[in-house]
Amino acid sequence: MQKKKINKQIIIQPKPSKYRLVAKRSSAGLGLYTIDPIKKDEQIIEYGGYKLTNEEAEKRGGKYLFEIIESNFTIDGTPRWNLARYANHSCKPNAEAVWYGKHVWICPKRNIKPGEEITYNYGRVYFKDIIGGEKYCKCPIHHPSKGHLGKLTEKELRRYSRNS
């Protein structure tokens, strides 16, 4: 990780993922999909962005704030180079967010197959305040009828595998 100060903003630049990941349309806007198989006990991708204090984050607001209450810091993951921001919320996720010091990683909860969408639970506050609760949650549990895509088709997977 590198920390650079640009316009007084400290940037947490994520380490490149060892997996090939793509952002693609899903039922909840864009979603993050893996092209490679991911093993449990590995790290999928680091959550990068601007490092803020929780007070600054509160003033700034936004959808991509990752708040770590215990350490009084927040990562504003708005920049598009923060690929991890495309991992959607799910109430039945295949990954989880884990932090070590100032690093937040999205880590698998189980083995993940090529083509699967990476999701993690954003937590109770986000679920209630930003998503708006069960009625608006687009995860497979709360929105099964709309068909959570959740997976790349075989054709998409082949195409992405060739091009990356």
Among 52, 97, 104, 137, interactor with Zn ion by CB under 5 A: 137
148 binds Zn ion (CB under 5 A): no
Among 14, 142, 148, 152, interactor with Zn ion by CB under 5 A: 142
How many Å separate Cα 119 from the centre of its chain?
7
CA nearest neighbour of 47 among 21, 13, 20, 23: 13
Taking contact as CB under 5 A, which single stretch among the options 5-13, 72-80, 100-108, 140-148 is the one that binds Zn ion? 140-148
β-bridge pairing 117-120 and 88-89: parallel
139 binds Zn ion (CB under 5 A): yes
85 binds Zn ion (CB under 5 A): no
Cβ closest to Zn ion, residue 85 vs residue 142:
142
Helix, strand, or coil (residue 39): coil
Q: In DSSP terms, which residues pair with 13 in a beta bridge?
A: none
Q: In DSSP terms, which residues pair with 50 in a beta bridge?
A: 11, 76
Among 91, 107, 130, 149, interactor with Zn ion by CB under 5 A: 91
CB of 146: closest distance to Zn ion in angstroms?
12
Q: What angle do CA 16, 19, 25 make, to 5 degrees?
A: 100
Cβ closest to Zn ion, residue 118 vs residue 157:
118
Burial 126-145 (b: 16+ CB within 10 A, else e): ebeeebeeeeebbbbebbee
CB of 32: closest distance to Zn ion in angstroms?
17
CB of 137: closest distance to Zn ion in angstroms?
3
> What is the contact surface with Zn ion in residues (CB under 5 A)?
91, 137, 139, 141-142
